């Protein structure tokens, strides 16, 4: 694992960031791969000031030209996809195949944002008054604060940054303290794009369109409470959302929250199990259960419950014996948990599941001799008769609870009876069931015969209830990064009419 060589290839000047505040460890073997200095409050203040200054110039650059910068960034990402993906794997432990997918998602997001840069459409609205025209126009909002989680260390930032930049907004990014190196790599790649911009467009760029802040919750708090940032886009646990949302609200800022999930799939007796099974496996054990969209609950019809459980057990056994290991190796499907705390949280949840009536299969630590400082586990399968308390919490580890149901109404009631509302799915060949579920699932993402994880960037991504209500990436998510004004113009020559027919005539 030559992290230094990869950082060099990505253009990261690591020595500039070296210090003793933040030890960065690879979950692959627990070894320390860097030691960084965190930003001080004064430095964060200076970054904010520079971002605010950059905004005053960037907002006046025509949006399609702003799109050119994002296009150049996407081009640089294409060139550096492989080393960036390897760094993602080394720093957060997801398998290389998924890390490549994560970088591809960034590239796709850049393409999307470039197209969008020519489509920041407003409306022309019919006025109720003669000789009046009414328009709605979208304008840049200001520098955007972005806080991200460890498990998607680069893609989630790009969902925000690609949109923010074409919308005219600089970005101040506080990545997870567990994955700062990938963020520094994105900063270096973005700097490459910035260097190419003047040659490509003949225009100069303002300094400081992107700031990457090194540090933990304290640095995050300086971001959250800074009134120069009109929008805070925060991705992470519900716990974090509950702390920061009131702080942003207290200063009447805007927040975009992408928080925890507790995603379920309903498997009907009308399901094609050959379609359902691989989707459940990818959703439940992929990324070692560390996706916000990980399948954590299977609600299976009693008619197929035993068969599905048996097939899951067989597949879990195969995964446990053949596919757990170093995420850089081809053939590995499940890499390590992020750290010891994640392992302990998993074991605590499995103990709770046993106490609350569950039968636990697999879920043990493996490869401890080869990797004494790292935490590899066999994904756990829990057969549980009802949706007890532990099933209603998000444990960020590969634990799949399998519960029976008898009627679709009951399945949907079980499905919706958790605090989180991110992603959901039904497996069925019955159109009526599929449409009923699509209407009644309370999540932001509702799939049919597709698992809950692995969303495309074209759709708006996010969830309801404790997941926070935010939407990022595709569709009209860009509107959150802009402000809207409504403008009415009177072009007549006699005194204009008032709205609602009000008369106000001064003799």
Catalytic residues: 258, 292
Closest CA to 182 of 215, 154, 219: 154
Are 448 and 424 within 8 A, CB to CB?
no
CB of 209 to ligand NAD, least distance (A): 21
How far, in Å, CA of 144 to CA of 51, rounded?
9
Using CB under 6 A, list all residues that contact ligand NAD.
147-152, 156, 174, 176-177, 216-217, 220-221, 224, 235-237, 240, 243-244, 258-261, 292, 394, 396, 422, 467
CB of 377 to ligand NAD, least distance (A): 17
CB of 444 to ligand NAD, least distance (A): 9
Cβ proximity to ligand NAD: between 142 and 260 the closer is 260
CB of 217 to ligand NAD, least distance (A): 4
CA angle 336, 337, 342 (to 5 degrees): 160
How far, in Å, CA of 104 to CA of 77, rounded?
8
Half-sphere exposure of residue 305, counting CA atoms within 13 Å on the CB side? 16
Cβ proximity to ligand NAD: between 87 and 156 the closer is 156
CB of 240 to ligand NAD, least distance (A): 3
Half-sphere exposure of residue 165, counting CA atoms within 13 Å on the CB side? 35
Angle between helices 408-416 and 431-440 in degrees, nearest 10:
30
User: Residue 273 to residues 305, 309, 427: CA-CA distances in angstroms?
Assistant: 11, 11, 8
Residue 231's Cβ-count burial label (10 Å; 0-12, 13-18, 19+) is buried
CB atoms under 10 Å from CB of 159, counted, come to: 26
Closest CA to 378 of 422, 331, 323: 323
Locate tokens 């930049």: which residue? 165
Q: Which helix (H) or strand (E) holds 282?
A: helix 273-285
Q: What is the 8-class DSSP label of residue 10?
A: T
Locate tokens 């304008």: which residue? 139
Q: How do 32-36 and 123-125 pair as beta strands? A: unpaired
Are 255 and 244 within 8 A, CB to CB?
yes
Cβ proximity to ligand NAD: between 259 and 482 the closer is 259
CB of 120 to ligand NAD, least distance (A): 24
Q: What order of strands is seen across the sheet that includes strand 380-383?
A: 359-361, 380-383, 399-405, 295-301, 263-267, 423-427, 445-448
Cβ proximity to ligand NAD: between 147 and 193 the closer is 147
CB of 160 to ligand NAD, least distance (A): 11
Number of H helices, E strands in the chain: 15, 23
Closest CA to 207 of 332, 395, 422, 54: 54
Cβ proximity to ligand NAD: between 236 and 474 the closer is 236
Cβ proximity to ligand NAD: between 357 and 419 the closer is 419
Closest CA to 286 of 400, 364, 392, 156: 400
Are 394 and 262 within 8 A, CB to CB?
yes
CB of 35 to ligand NAD, least distance (A): 18
Locate tokens 């969209």: which residue? 293
Locate tokens 């969303």: which residue? 455
CA angle 87, 345, 341 (to 5 degrees): 45
- Helix or strand or coil: residue 280? helix
Cβ proximity to ligand NAD: between 50 and 148 the closer is 148
CB of 307 to ligand NAD, least distance (A): 30
Cβ proximity to ligand NAD: between 58 and 401 the closer is 401
Looking at beta carbons, which residue is closest to ligand NAD?
220
Cβ proximity to ligand NAD: between 27 and 67 the closer is 27
């Amino acid at each position: 694992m030559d992290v230094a060589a990869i950082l060099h290839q990505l253009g990261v000047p690591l020595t500039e960031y070296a210090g003793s505040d933040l030890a960065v460890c690879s979950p692959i073997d627990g070894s320390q791969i860097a030691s960084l200095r965190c930003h001080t409050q004064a430095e964060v203040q200076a970054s904010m000031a520079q971002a605010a200054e950059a905004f005053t110039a960037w907002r006046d650059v025509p949006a399609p030209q702003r799109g050119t910068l994002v296009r150049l960034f996407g081009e640089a990402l294409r060139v550096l996809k492989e080393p960036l993906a390897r760094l993602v794997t080394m720093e957060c432990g997801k398998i290389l195949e998924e890390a490549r997918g994560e970088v591809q998602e960034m590239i796709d997001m850049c393409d999307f944002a470039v197209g969008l840069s020519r489509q920041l459409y407003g409306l022309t609205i019919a006025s109720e008054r003669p000789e009046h025209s009414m328009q709605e126009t979208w304008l840049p909002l200001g520098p955007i604060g972005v806080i991200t989680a460890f498990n998607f260390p680069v893609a989630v930032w790009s969902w925000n940054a690609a949109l923010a930049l074409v919308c005219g907004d600089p970005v101040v990014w506080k990545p997870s303290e567990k994955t700062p190196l990938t963020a520094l790599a994105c900063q270096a790649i973005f700097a490459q794009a910035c260097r190419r911009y003047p040659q490509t467009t003949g225009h100069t760029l303002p300094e400081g369109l992107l700031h990457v802040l090194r540090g933990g919750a304290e640095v995050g708090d300086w971001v959250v409470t800074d009134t120069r940032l009109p929008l805070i886009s925060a991705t992470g646990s519900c716990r974090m959302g509950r702390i920061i949302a009131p702080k942003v609200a207290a200063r009447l800022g805007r927040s975009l929250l992408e928080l925890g999930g507790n995603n379920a799939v309903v498997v009907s007796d009308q399901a094609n199990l050959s379609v359902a099974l691989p989707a459940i496996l990818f959703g439940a054990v992929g990324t070692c259960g560390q996706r916000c969209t990980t399948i954590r609950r299977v609600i299976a019809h009693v008619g197929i419950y035993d068969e599905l459980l048996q097939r899951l057990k067989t597949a879990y056994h195969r995964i446990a014996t053949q596919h757990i290991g170093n995420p850089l190796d081809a053939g590995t499907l499940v890499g390590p948990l992020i750290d010891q705390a994640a392992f302990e949280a998993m074991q605590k949840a499995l103990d709770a599941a046993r106490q609350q009536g569950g039968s636990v299969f697999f879920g043990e630590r493996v490869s401890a001799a080869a990797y004494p400082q790292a935490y590899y586990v066999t994904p756990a399968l829990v057969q549980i008769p009802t949706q007890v308390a532990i099933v209603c919490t998000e444990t960020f580890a590969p634990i799949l609870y399998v519960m029976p149901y008898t009627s679709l109404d009951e399945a949907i009631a079980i499905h919706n009876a958790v605090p989180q509302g991110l992603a959901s799915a039904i497996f069925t060949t019955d159109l009526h069931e599929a449409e009923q579920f699509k209407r009644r699932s309370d999540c932001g993402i509702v799939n049919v015969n597709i698992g809950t994880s692995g969303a495309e960037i074209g759709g708006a991504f996010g969830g309801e209830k404790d997941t926070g209500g935010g939407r990022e990436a595709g569709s009209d998510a860009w509107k959150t990064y802009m402000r809207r004004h409504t403008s009415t113009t009177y072009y007549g020559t006699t005194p204009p009419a008032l709205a609602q027919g009000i008369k106000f005539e001064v003799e």
